[in-house]
Chains A and B, each alone.
Chain A
Amino acid sequence: MVSQNHSEKKTKVKRRQIIPGFGLSLGLSLSYLSLLVLIPLSMIFIYTSQIGWGGFLREISQPIVVSAYQLSFTTALVASLINLVFGVLTAWVLVRYSFPGRKLIDGLLDLPFALPTSVAGITLATLYATNGWIGHLLPFKVSYTQVGIVVALILIGMPFVVRIVEPVLQNLEKENEEASAILGANRFQTLVHVVFPKIRLAAFSGFALAFSRALGEYGSVVFIAGNMPFKTEIAPLVVMQKLEAFDYDGATSVALVLLVASFLILFLINFSQWVVKRKFAD
């Protein structure tokens, strides 16, 4: 009690944690993340650097690879745009309207997350085959065409936009819309000027996640695509085939481009959220 003199001096303290155990928690978390995710992922970069820049460019500029990239990007883009439109619509209908079966549909929306992709793949392939339940009703071929790829990608990307937009719509203050209506805006103007700006960021994030997922999707697509080189062969399948042919240089180079694309999309999502947070922070 008496010996307090040593403590009289100013103590400059570093920022500490309130709950004990920070070091252990962070250490274990980071070790596991590094061992399981970061170190293995870095293999793609390490391996590609061994091939060298020239080799890498040679691999990814093969006509078959270029056409696979084009196909993957186009189909992923089309599918996620469709999902963007239907996702916002579905979220709106689920949050704002009441109709028989609403709960069922709401619950089923997560099915693409829960159903194995290969199951989805063989099911769609058979349904949309020329003699399938849906396929025989359509005037054009779906299975084994690029349309089929889009169909599979729509299915697996369906929940993203809905699930991100839904809570935003739920938390929307009704007063904003009421104010807009009282100030004389019609319903359409209110939706465009008041509601839409509020869900824009969420819708974009959902779209970007669906796009990223679609770009890398493999299981559901391989069954319905038919996998004809230059026509219906997607980039992840090229990786797979190169691997089966023990062409590791090719497989890794093709994969690197996909990986970087995923990085960029994730970065874009986080960045846009960061910008918006900064802009509207209190």
Chain B
Amino acid sequence: MSIELKNISKSYGPYQILKNIDLTIKTGELVALLGPSGSGKTSLLRVLAGLEYADEGTILFHGENLTDAPIKKRKAGFVFQHYALFNTMTIRENIAYGLKAKPRRDRPSKKEIQEKVDQLLHLVRLEPYGDRYPSQLSGGQRQRVALARALAIEPHILLLDEPFGALDAKVRKELRLWLRRLHQQVKMTSLLVTHDQEEAFEVADRVVIINKGRIEQVGTPTEVYENPANSFVYDFIGNVNQVRGTISDGLFTTGAFRIPVDTAGQADGIAFIRPDEFTIQATNEQAADRTLSATVTHIHPSGSVIRLELERQDENQNLEVEVTKREFDKLSLSKNQHVFLEAKKVKVFTVN
């Protein structure tokens, strides 16, 4: 089942939280909606589920217009951040709820419901816990129950609202690998809302970056990471050094650092350089143009990647650089040492 969103807008009073959203999700795809909190990503998901209504725009499920359809018609599975399990029911009753709620002619027999529940308990690996109550399970287990409950009604699409947001880091990591495998198994069109880029990149086929109610970029994780469409995405996806400078005559300049850019005319610009996209040199022999001179102020020597903090010599700015352990040893860097940083990859955006 494919999903098409056309020109979706929504406001709460004076605040416009969704601005002309256009998005197509292909059948069987797992798409992550990634954005900072307050970006509108959860609202978009709730609009899809029918838990909110858009002020404007059209929602098509497999070509069928469901913009104004009530929740029931959409046949969406929804997993809430805080589980929303029914506290007064056992795990089995929670999972069976959607099946029992079907109109009589579609409702499976008691035995079929039992079998289905068994099957789902197996799928989420919670067979021994069927007769417990939600309060007796851990957060990760509860979220798996929520997923089983959502899958029970065989939804056409699966919507997950920060499903792992309330869990601790280790469980979160486990569950997202598990979700990835589960998705490969059932191949259901799925939309995952998250503010955690690692999670989005690890799980999703495609990532939608959303900010202030607008889509900033859509692409596969590699595309988005390698080629951020604008300064927001660059900043939001991972760590990045931002070096301010000026653009004139097709050249971005800051201090002694200069590189050619496509932009014509005069403007202020920001160069984005990721910490692992520097080469450190003790002396400035070649490629002087692409080089920043800096002093090492701090070394974080933990793990296979060494993180360095440096201060530029020409400007009062701190830089962050990552080098492999091997390279670090080779250079035998120490605090207060003066080095040259050659930027291997730079992306310059103009500042308006």
Contacts and interface: CB of A to CB of B under 8 A. Distances in A.
A18 B50 contact: yes
Contact of A12 (B55, B64, B71): B55
B51 A11 contact: no
Interface in A97-144: none
Interface in B325-352: none
Interface string A1-29: 11010011011110110101000000000
B56 A16 contact: no
A interface SS class: loop
Interface in B254-280: none
A186 to B, nearest CB: 40
A11 B58 contact: yes
B281 interface: no
B50 A4 contact: no
A45 B57 CA distance: 49
B57 A7 contact: no
Given A18-B52, A18-B71, A20-B70, A11 B64 contact: no
B65 interface: yes
Given A12-B56, A18-B71, A20-B70, A4 B65 contact: yes
Interface string B58-79: 1010111101101100000000
Contacts of A16: 53
A10 B53 contact: no
B interface SS class: loop
B7 interface: yes
B7 to A, nearest CB: 7
Nearest to A20: B70
A11 B67 contact: yes
B54 interface: yes
B126 to A, nearest CB: 29
B110 to A, nearest CB: 27
A18 B65 contact: no
Q: Chain A: interface residue count, which band? A: 10 to 19
B64 to A, nearest CB: 6
Nearest to B51: A18
B67 A7 contact: yes
Nearest to B67: A11
B64 A4 contact: yes
Contacts of A18: 50-52, 71
A13 B58 contact: no
Contacts of A12: 55-56
B70 to A, nearest CB: 6
Interface string B202-232: 0000000000000000000000000000000
Nearest to A19: B71
Contact of B7 (A2, A10, A13, A20): A10
A106 to B, nearest CB: 26
Interface in B21-73: 50-58, 60, 62-65, 67-68, 70-71
Contacts of A13: 53-56, 67-68
Nearest to A10: B56
B301 to A, nearest CB: 36
Contacts of B56: 10-13
Contacts of A4: 60, 63-65
A2 B64 CA distance: 8
6 contacts: A1-B62, A1-B64, A11-B58, A12-B55, A12-B56, A18-B71
Given A13-B53, A13-B56, 15 more contacts: A1-B62, A1-B64, A2-B63, A4-B63, A8-B58, A10-B56, A10-B57, A11-B58, A11-B68, A13-B54, A13-B55, A13-B67, A13-B68, A15-B53, A18-B71
Interface of A: 1-2, 4, 7-8, 10-13, 15-16, 18, 20
